[in-house]
Amino acid sequence: DAMVIQNPRYQVTQFGKPVTLSCSQTLNHNVMYWYQQKSSQAPKLLFHYYDKDFNNEADTPDNFQSRRPNTSFCFLDIRSPGLGDAAMYLCATQTGGARGNEQFFGPGTRLTVL
Amino acid sequence: KNQVEQSPQSLIILEGKNCTLQCNYTVSPFSNLRWYKQDTGRGPVSLTIMTFSENTKSNGRYTATLDADTKQSSLHITASQLSDSASYICVVSQGRGSTLGRLYFGRGTQLTVWP
């Protein structure tokens, strides 16, 4: 049974053409994260939602936005993708309020920018 | 500076052999340490989580150790299988109390198991 679902698994877009990646969860977790992972590198946190509170990392480009319309869904919007934005995008969830809780990752969306 | 360093960067072993992966960290204050397995093109999957008071934890053929004094952890894989080929990522959580801890990721060790 899938717990953190990401759609699509593979996304191809053109340079400058907006794209939206989707994440949904069946765990009812408070916290949802978006990470960017480039080849052979560690995942880099872009931002996270703690319930409805949005927390942006200081070095996340303005080109990246996020929406969380409800507990289950979170979206990553890339307004004008550049070639450097090609990467794996990982969504993760966690129960908030307990620092020892595990983060559950989705399978990721591989973004290609042409 | 809060960092997580893993070694080796890559490792090739024969099926059935054992191996040990290393993780050193400087994250403070320390909350917990996690090992994840990430198959190519997939999201990370948790193997173990250890808090300050735990110095060993097993999950099947995977055994993780933690020395909080020296800030070192290891992941030992016993009787390796072809399906163990993956990247193994060490992740350290920072924080105290009930606050949501920031995670620091290592760059991973790429393990390849040959038949």
What pLDDT was estimated at residue B101? 72
As beta bridge partners, residue A109 has A89
In this prediction, residue A103 carries a pLDDT of 85
| Chains A–B, number of C-beta pairs less than 8 Å apart | 59
Contacts of B45 in chain A (CB under 8 A): 105
Contacts of B110 in chain A (CB under 8 A): 40
Kindly report the CA angle at A108 between A21 and B88, in degrees rounded to 5?
A: 155
Say whether B107 and A40 touch across the interface (CB within 8 A).
yes
Verify whether the Cβ–Cβ distance B100 to A42 is below 8 Å. Answer: no
Q: Please write the tens of the pLDDT for every residue from B22-46.
A: 999 999 888 889 999 999 888 899 9
Q: Which of A93, A99, A112 to mutate to test the interface with B (most CBs of B within 10 A)?
A: A99
The answer to whether A19 contacts chain B (CB < 8 Å) is: no
A23 to A1, A66, A108, B37, B65: CA distances (angstroms): 15, 11, 9, 21, 33
pLDDT-derived band of residue B94, with 50, 70 and 90 as boundaries?
confident
d(CA A68, CA B93): 24
B99 touching A (Cβ < 8 Å): yes
**Residue B1: per-residue pLDDT:** 84
Q: What's chain B's average pLDDT?
A: 92
Please check the confidence at residue B100 and state whether its pLDDT lies above 60.
yes
Any CB–CB contact under 8 A between B6 and chain A? no
Distances (CA, A) of B52 to A59, A88, B30, B35, B88: 30, 32, 7, 15, 21
> Quick check: helix, strand or coil at residue A42?
coil
CA distance B20 to A94: 29
Strands (E), chain A: 4-7, 10-13, 19-25, 31-37, 44-50, 53-56, 64-67, 73-78, 87-94, 104-105, 109-113
pLDDT of residue A99: 52
As a whole number, mean pLDDT of residues B67-76 equals: 96
Cβ distance A66 to A47 under 8 Å?
yes
- The one-letter code for the residue type at B90 is C
Which regions in chain A score pLDDT beneath 50? none
User: What is the distance between the alpha carbons of residues A40 and B108, in angstroms, rounded to a whole number?
Assistant: 8
Judge: B107–A42 Cβ closer than 8 Å, yes or no.
Answer: yes
Burial class of residue B114, CB neighbours in 10 A (0-12, 13-18, 19+):
exposed
